[in-house]
Structure 1
């Protein structure tokens, strides 16, 4: 005869002891506040603002050419993230890009990260710590300021 204790292990649900309680916990980051992982709302706000700025510049300078808009967006990301650690959208959203160890992203990481971001797919595929493939490729992280 089957005893309740025999089936109790799968009724209690999966073992979650190795799963993080919040994004960034495995990386040693705080759950909230400054230095915590930038959540989706802030990321979306930042990218919408940055794309809007690129679109405005493109409309005035190039008649709204979509390739010009993409190039302006990429240039903004490369220049600003590579030098300041944040784009205009990042600044407004209160987030910035760092190396995983805590240092600045730097120009090379900003360039590769920006090019991958322009491909879109690496940005929408992310891990439990909410790091997109473009961040994982360059060992960077987007955190709250």
Structure 2
């Protein structure tokens, strides 16, 4: 490799250099055996964030109702509890939270079982509650909470 190739790969970035060496990145979800578009494809980030906001707003509303308007500071803590319980119950039974359902998303198991078993849903929910795992993504847009639970969010 001469200096021009080394400088060229440095300037074009690591992805371009890897592609020149023969790496095939493909579309998001290709490594997981998922289609590029349509039902069963990896859920777009915008829809996932939108579903999160819908679920959080619903959780905050329920928490506010349960506390009957008492201390607003306590509502945020209870909203997190409601959010986690709602996530555990809805993802564990129908595969979607209310926000995901409205935006046509579903959490499925990668091993072909369809919906997640209860224990894997619990692992996913606990990690989601910690927030940090949900902010660490791989190249297929799967958060660490999805990777560790063996799940993926797809379009329906």
TM-score by length of 2: 0.84
| Cα distance between partner residues in 1 of 2:60 and 2:126 | 17
- Write 1 or 2 for the structure with the bigger share of helix: 2
TM-score by length of 1: 0.90
Give the equivalent residue in structure 1 for 2:62.
Answer: 57
| Cα distance between partner residues in 1 of 2:120 and 2:47 | 21
Q: Could you list the runs of 5+ residues in structure 1 that have no partner in the other structure? A: none
The alignment partner of 2:107 has SS state of: strand
CA 1:67–1:19 in structure 2 vs 1: closer, same or farther (change >3 Å)? farther
The alignment partner of 1:126 has SS state of: coil
Q: CA deviation at 1:67?
A: 1.5
Give the equivalent residue in structure 2 for 1:130.
Answer: 141
Give the equivalent residue in structure 2 for 1:27.
Answer: 32
Of the three residues 102, 108, 116, the one matched with 1:98 is 108
Matched, 1:71 2:81: yes
The alignment partner of 1:142 has SS state of: strand
Give the equivalent residue in structure 2 for 1:83.
Answer: 93
RMSD: 1.6
Give the equivalent residue in structure 2 for 1:9.
Answer: 5
| Cα distance between partner residues in 2 of 1:22 and 1:118 | 29
Q: Could you list the runs of 5+ residues in structure 2 that have no partner in the other structure? A: none
Q: CA deviation at 1:8?
A: 4.6
Deviations 1:89-120 (A, max 9, x none): 11011110111123211211111111111111
The alignment partner of 2:138 has SS state of: coil
| Cα distance between partner residues in 2 of 1:52 and 1:19 | 40
| Cα distance between partner residues in 1 of 2:106 and 2:80 | 21
